[in-house]
């Protein structure tokens, strides 16, 4: 171990030792950004960047387990990303599929897909469904894998689901217009029944949400980290938790 690693380890333990687990966010959303930029800066290919980013996910979930986080949402592929050229998209989907299999095979976490399943290739759909089914009984961290996810699309899908549900019940449009409220719409989101994210982390220095959990993040705290996702370290994660714990959440009041 070199001096730099030693100092880093000591600092990380110091930050962790001062962390109050009672103030740890229960639900963390993570925008995994910067794989391609990390690869370019490292002299690698985009595919190598995505593979490095996928490997980092397991480290993150380990840190979340250690700090008693209950729900983690990982934005792995947006609906916009599905428009990338086939030569970019096919390898990326393969990397995501392998990452989802790895998460499910670990045995500590329950996998739940959030996104529009119908937009994804059959093979990717099969991997996601198998991961959900094989981890359904696990009581550890709930890991939402956001693949083929867009915040606007989620709200549109929720409204569509709500309308179909009430059409089947025979509710008229006039009656529905009288009773519809935000709670009813929330019951049809991809994350229905889950707590909203307390903290949203975005890597790579970009300070925008890009449509991530538009409905659920109305009262979330945000933490923007300069490092690209493959370079995200435990100390970066702990700093985000420390920053969150120091804030006073107002929930719009």
Question: Any catalytic annotation for residue 81?
Answer: yes
CA distances from 144 to 43, 77, 108, 228 (A): 31, 12, 14, 21
The answer to whether residues 234 and 250 touch, using CB atoms and an 8 Å cutoff, is no
CA distances from 77 to 84, 99, 150 (A): 11, 12, 9
Question: Any catalytic annotation for residue 144?
Answer: no
Which residue in 20, 33, 68, 181 is the catalytic one? 33
Which residues contribute to the annotated binding site for substrate?
34-38, 50, 78-80, 84, 202, 208-210
Which residues contribute to the annotated binding site?
33-38, 50, 78-80, 84, 202, 208-210, 221
Which residue in 2, 81, 83, 157 is the catalytic one? 81
DSSP per residue over 111-144, as a string?
Answer: EEEES-GGGS-HHHHHHHHHHHHHTTT--S-EEE
Q: CA 116 to CA 125: how far, in whole Å? A: 10
Which residues contribute to the annotated binding site for Mg(2+)?
33, 221
Token duo for residue 127: 């991997």
- The set of catalytic residues is 33, 81
């Amino acid at each position: 171990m070199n001096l730099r690693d030693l100092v880093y380890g000591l600092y990380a333990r110091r930050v962790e030792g001062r962390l109050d687990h009672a103030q740890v966010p229960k639900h963390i959303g993570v925008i995994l950004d910067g794989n391609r930029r990390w690869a370019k800066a490292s002299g690698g290919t985009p595919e190598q960047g995505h593979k490095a980013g996928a490997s980092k996910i397991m480290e993150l979930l380990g840190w979340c387990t250690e700090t008693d986080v209950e729900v983690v949402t990982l934005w792995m592929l947006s609906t916009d990303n599905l428009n990338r050229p086939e030569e970019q998209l096919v390898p990326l989907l393969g990397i995501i599929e392998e990452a989802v299999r790895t998460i499910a095979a670990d045995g500590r976490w329950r996998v739940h897909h959030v996104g529009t399943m119908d937009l994804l290739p059959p093979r990717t759909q099969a991997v996601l469904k198998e991961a959900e089914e094989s981890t359904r009984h696990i009581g550890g961290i709930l890991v939402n894998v956001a693949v083929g996810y867009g915040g606007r699309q989620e709200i549109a899908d929720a409204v569509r689901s709500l309308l179909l549900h009430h059409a089947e019940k025979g509710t008229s449009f006039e009656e529905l217009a009288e009773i519809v409220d935000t709670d009813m719409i929330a019951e049809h989101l991809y994350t229905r029944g889950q707590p909203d994210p307390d903290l949203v982390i975005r890597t790579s220095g970009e300070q925008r949400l890009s449509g991530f959990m538009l409905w659920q993040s109305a009262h979330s705290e945000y933490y923007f980290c300069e490092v690209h996702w493959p370079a995200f370290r435990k100390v970066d994660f702990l700093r985000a938790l420390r920053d969150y714990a120091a804030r006073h959440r107002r929930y719009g009041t």
